[in-house]
Amino acid sequence: MAVARLLIASNNRGKLREYQMLLDGLPLSLIEPLDLGIDLRVEESGESYEENARMKAVAYADASGLVSLADDSGLEVNALGGEPGVKAARYAGEGATDEQRVGYLLEKLKGVPMECRQAHFVCVIAIARPGTDVELCRGECEGVIALESRGDRGFGYDPVFYLPDLGVTMAELSPAVKNEISHRGKAAREARRVLERMLGEGWI
């Protein structure tokens, strides 16, 4: 019996590993664009996470003919008026590394005390079937921007996203705990329900 395939519309290895865990147990084979020889660059020109996730999911679904899952996520810092927001990946300029983005963020917050460094992560997952409506799932996680990086797990802004209730940054969490509380984990639990329904209806 053939296993249903789901295209994860990303070449970010850290993100792909997280989805392997987050969607574990579903009767799906998760594949990435390069498995299909797809090298697609979708300009994330939307003004919301929903717009960007939708654009990516639709583009990959149309290119592959498969149900495709894409997400857009960002970090919103209260003291910066919600920056970097949907531009989180490009905040320090095109082609910047994770370390450069984190460094740029910390420099922007220089002199801001811990009690004024509240922030939250946002993730919106879009699931697209070729030629049909797109399903959207959203998750958020509250925290504080630390004064310096800590931890070597995760990616992006994880090393400076401090979780006061746990006393650690996102990059210090085990993958299992991170997936339980993170913005992507919360959105993925909603996405699992969507995928289960699609499987039941024979759409995947």
**Closest of 161, 160, 152 to residue 182, by C-alpha:** 161
Q: Given the DSSP bridges, would you call strands 4-8 and 28-31 parallel, antiparallel or unpaired?
A: parallel
- Beta bridge pairs of residue 6: 30
Residue 21 · residue 179 · CB < 8 Å: yes
Note if 72 is an active site residue. Answer: yes
The catalytic residue among 35, 39, 62, 72 is: 72
Residue 144 · residue 114 · CB < 8 Å: yes
The one-letter code for the residue type at 49 is Y
Terminal Cα-to-Cα distance of the chain (whole angstroms): 14
Q: Tokens 């792909």, residue?
A: 16
Backbone angles phi, psi at 153, to 5 degrees: -105, 165
Residues that are catalytic: 72
